[in-house]
Amino acid sequence: MDIDILMQRLFELYPEAATDSFIDPFFSLISTVMSHRTRDDVTYPAASRLFERFSTPEEMVRANVSEIEILIKDVGFYRVKAGRIQEISRLLLEKYDGRVPDNMEALLELPGVGRKTANCVLAHAFLKDALAVDTHVHRISNRLGLVETKAPEETEAELKKIFPQKDWRYINLLLVKLGQNTCRPISPRCKTCALEDICPKILL
């Protein structure tokens, strides 16, 4: 598959994905932790409610965990995530003066933070060349025949070999939108897809 054509079509479909607007690192980190096993249309309203009440690590630490639970109760595993939010906030205050670190190694030391979350924060909050692979990116990359991988970590490594580094931080947003709107896990809308003529439709 021609990578330049693929990126051109995806950007034509979702031009907003190319906008490098600033996202607060703390909001980016916490909302991404909240998004685990939760749809975006549930995660972001819940994260917005939470940050309207508690918007800094200091405020999160001082909050009663039950208040956090109530604000984020729509997300999956909200009790576990409420505890993680407070623990992350405490560690940020203790180790990083309340700031979110801008490197992979430090982010991975935070509870509930894996490579996908860390890469999302680096790409969207710090505009670094990071490539975040979630279930959408993993599934669609295999379906398009870009990779043949079993796990998201493998997919990340293989995609970095295929795409120019300048495109890495956009891939997650583009493929997630494609996966939500068209290339769905079940009953993908192939006939109306902008990639229909270049997609090998692997694993359909």
CB 133 within 8 A of CB 91: no
CB 26 within 8 A of CB 60: no
- Residue of 2, 81, 116, 201 marked active site: 116
- Residue of 2, 4, 20, 134 marked active site: 134
Taking alpha carbons only, the member of 163, 187, 48 closest to residue 175 is: 163
**Cα 165 → chain centroid:** 18
Taking alpha carbons only, the member of 153, 87, 141, 72 closest to residue 114 is: 153
Residue with tokens 């109760």: 73
Annotated active-site residue 167? The verdict is no
Report d(CA 180, CA 201) in Å as an integer. Answer: 17
Report d(CA 55, CA 50) in Å as an integer. Answer: 7
Report d(CA 112, CA 81) in Å as an integer. Answer: 8
Tell me, what amino acid is at 60?
M
179-203 burial by CB neighbour count: b if 16+ within 10 A, else e? beebbeeeebeeeebebeeebeeee
Annotated active-site residue 24? The verdict is no
- Residue 183 counted as an annotated binding residue: yes
Annotated binding site: 183, 190, 193, 199
**Active site residues per annotation:** 116, 134
Annotated binding site for [4Fe-4S] cluster: 183, 190, 193, 199
